Structure 1
Amino acid sequence: MQLFLGGTCAGKRGVVRQRFDSPCWHSAYHDCRLETWRMAAASSQCLVLEGWERWIAARLTAELDDDRLRDIMAIELDALRAWEAEQGGEAVLILLEMGRGIVPFAPEARRLRDLNGWLAQDAASRCERVWYVRNGLCRSLSY
């Protein structure tokens, strides 16, 4: 797995399009549910998943326990790694870096930022490569 992390409109999609041939996009911005990535993966060797913050936000009211919600997202990350191992495919995660340290006043906005940050940490720990994208420039954060 590879992770591309950066702010809004930082150029993450463009960098991913340049680096991967004919990836299959699974996007929360196009009303895809996270769990349906398995159907998209069946016909692709490269699967790009974007919109994680929306997938988290959609679960905030149904799941009030942050640890449980974090575990649910980690299960999906582990399933993606298992898909890679079984099918020989590559999962590419695009995550939005939110807030840059600014703490919002609204509790639900703080919760979303916390969960998104934990997801980024969990994803980074599972990925072979982590990239930070800013202004269309991509820098490796992996060692």
Structure 2
Amino acid sequence: MQLIIGGAFSGKRSTVRALHSEELSWVSAYDERSLNDWKLQWESDTSLVLEGWEKWIMKALLSEQNDDTIRQFFYLFFSELKEEEQKRGEEIILIMLELGRGIVPIDKQERRLRDIAGWVSQDAAKLADEVYYVWHGLNEQLK
């Protein structure tokens, strides 16, 4: 599993395309895709790209009050993805938006999103085989 993380419009998608010349199955929350769509959208002989995590996390925030439960859900989800990646022999790429830099939001729900997104990205980085940080169109491999 590979994690590509960086700020908004920092070049994360371009980095994915530069690192992966093969065909990609793309599941994006920005296209109103559900997190569970990956099962139907992942075509054989392609790598799977999942992006829009902050939207999927926000959806979880609206339905669950316990932050630890949300974090546990995403950790288990990443573990499931890793298992499927090994079964298929195809790579999974997670594109995550870095929300931890900049001004801390005044709104309680936005701060909660920022906190949980940070924990989820830490868990993704822990489980990922490779981690790239992207900023201003440049990427640096951290792991």
TM-score between both structures, scaled by the size of structure 2: 0.95
Question: What amino acid is aligned across from residue 19 of structure 1 in structure 2?
Answer: L
Name the residue aligned to 1:135: 136
Write out aligned runs for 1:61-72 (5 A): 61-72=62-73
Percentage identity across paired residues of the two chains: 44
Find runs of 4+ consecutive structure 1 residues off by over 4 angstroms.
none
Q: CA deviation at 1:19?
A: 1.5
Task: Write out per-residue CA displacement over residues 61-89 of structure 1, whole angstroms, 9 at most, x where no aligned residue.
Answer: 21000000111111210111001111111
Name the residue aligned to 2:2: 2
Name the residue aligned to 1:81: 82
Q: CA deviation at 1:18?
A: 1.5
State the alpha-carbon separation in 2 of the partners of residues 17 and 118 from structure 1: 26
Conservation of the 8 A alpha-carbon contact between 2:25 and 2:43: no
Write out aligned runs for 1:42-53 (5 A): 42-53=43-54
1:13 paired to 2:13: yes
Deviates more, 1:35-44 or 1:74-83: 35-44
Q: CA deviation at 1:39?
A: 1.4
Q: List runs of 5+ in structure 2 lacking aligned partners.
A: none
State the alpha-carbon separation in 1 of the partners of residues 80 and 43 from structure 2: 13
State the alpha-carbon separation in 1 of the partners of residues 90 and 46 from structure 2: 4
Name the residue aligned to 1:25: 26
Aligned residue pair count: 142
CA RMSD of aligned residues (A): 1.1
Q: CA deviation at 1:42?
A: 4.6
Conservation of the 8 A alpha-carbon contact between 1:95 and 1:120: yes
TM-score between both structures, scaled by the size of structure 1: 0.95
